[in-house]
Amino acid sequence: YMLYYILLLLFVLIAFVTLSVTVFFNISDIQVTGISKLSAQEVIAASGLEKGDNLFRSNLKGAQKKVEQSQAFADSAKMVRKLPSTLVIQVTEAVPTVNLKTGDTYAVLSAKGRVLEVNQQKPNDKLITLEGIKKDGLKRGDFLDYEGDEKLSTLGTIVEALEEVGFQGIKGINLENLV
């Protein structure tokens, strides 16, 4: 009798797992939080996920990357499963933090290095203006990679520190001659 119960348990487990990834846990509701500049429809479309997709078979990491790469005002995105059938896309919108002088024009960046605006004729007076970093060909939505370049790494550290302490009154920083 013991073998019979073990086989029955195994069959029930296999049936449950099979139904879980095929019939149960299909997405019936997709919610987007943390947005004000973006529309929920844009974020959902960018994720590539649709109602009817399975919560466990869907590639949530891939959807997260798609949202972060395609939405210029999204600094980050996180996909959260809410059982039994809801997917929540938590978006952190990019906030203008610094002006980056690029030749005769300015680019507006977020704290995480997301390029929000390019070819601005005048810097935004409410933001810190950075000079001394040579970056050509910036496009809206690009991320500056703080890791590979000493000046960009310094920029990332400065921006994070200023964001953390909320320091006001700095109008400009020149990173031309780092020692």
pLDDT at residue number 10: 95
Question: Residue 142, CB half-sphere, CA atoms under 13 Å: how many?
Answer: 13
- For the record, the structure tokens of 66 come out as 């798609």
Q: Distances in Å between the alpha carbon of 163 and those of 4, 56, 119, 125, 148?
A: 64, 36, 24, 17, 22
Cα angle: 122, vertex 123, 129; to 5 degrees: 145
Residue 63's pLDDT is what?
Answer: 95
Nearest one of 116, 125, 101, 111 to 162, comparing CA atoms: 111
Tens of pLDDT, residue by residue over 25-51, are: 899 999 999 999 889 999 999 999 999
pLDDT tens digits, 54-103:
998 899 999 999 999 888 889 899 999 998 899 999 999 998 988 988 88
- Please indicate whether residue 93 or residue 179 has the higher confidence score (pLDDT): 93
Half-sphere exposure of 20 (CA within 13 A, CB side): 9
What pLDDT, on a 0 to 100 scale, did the predictor assign at position 148? 66
3-state secondary structure 77-98: EEEEEECCCEEEEEEEECCEEE
Which residues, including other chains, have CB under 8 Å from residue 58's CB and lie 6 or more apart?
A: 27, 49, 87
Residue 138: what are its φ and ψ, rounded to 5°?
-70, 140
pLDDT tens-digit series, residues 119-172: 889 988 888 888 877 777 888 988 877 666 777 777 778 777 877 777 677 788
CA distances to 13, 25, 107, 142 from 160, rounded to whole Å, are 49, 39, 18, 19
Please name the residue ranges forming H helices in 23-120. Answer: 40-47, 60-70
